Amino acid sequence: MEESTPYRLIYVTTADTEQAKSIARTVVEERLAACVNILGAVSSFYWWDGKVQEDGEVSLIAKTRADLVEPLTRRIKELHTYACPCVVALPIVGGNPDFLRWIGTETG
């Protein structure tokens, strides 16, 4: 398995575009993420209250440093309306070195 870089992608689902934009703007302004992409509408199927639910959601991906995953996750949870929001960190194992350095420069 490849070693990861010191950078992470954070995948988040939100209730709607307004909430996604609010979270994105806040975490970028606070330099917890260098960039956030709002991917748009998705259909989500999940277990909640003992039954399978189906809802429309809006997903986003944030780019950040590994050492900011915990504070970024905390901040997203503070801003989010869900009781148990999806906030998942994925390692970045490679990519454009200039872009990866930019993530480091623009966060923290």
Q: Indicate whether 1 belongs to any domain.
A: no
- pLDDT tens digit string along 11-25? 999 999 999 999 999
Q: Indicate whether 85 belongs to any domain.
A: yes
Residue 59 has pLDDT above 80, yes or no: yes
CATH number at 29 reads: 3.30.70.120
- pLDDT tens digit string along 60-75? 999 999 999 999 999 9
Q: Indicate whether 69 belongs to any domain.
A: yes
Q: What is the pTM of this model?
A: 0.93
Identify the CA nearest to 10 among candidates 57, 72, 101, 97: 72
Residue 50 has pLDDT above 70, yes or no: yes
Q: Indicate whether 2 belongs to any domain.
A: no
Q: How many domains does the chain have?
A: 1
Q: Indicate whether 17 belongs to any domain.
A: yes
Provide the domain limits for residue 34.
7-106
Q: Indicate whether 33 belongs to any domain.
A: yes
The DSSP-derived string for 23-91 is HHHHHHHTTS-SEEEEEEEEEEEEEETTEEEEEEEEEEEEEEEGGGHHHHHHHHHHH--SSS--EEEEE
Q: Indicate whether 84 belongs to any domain.
A: yes
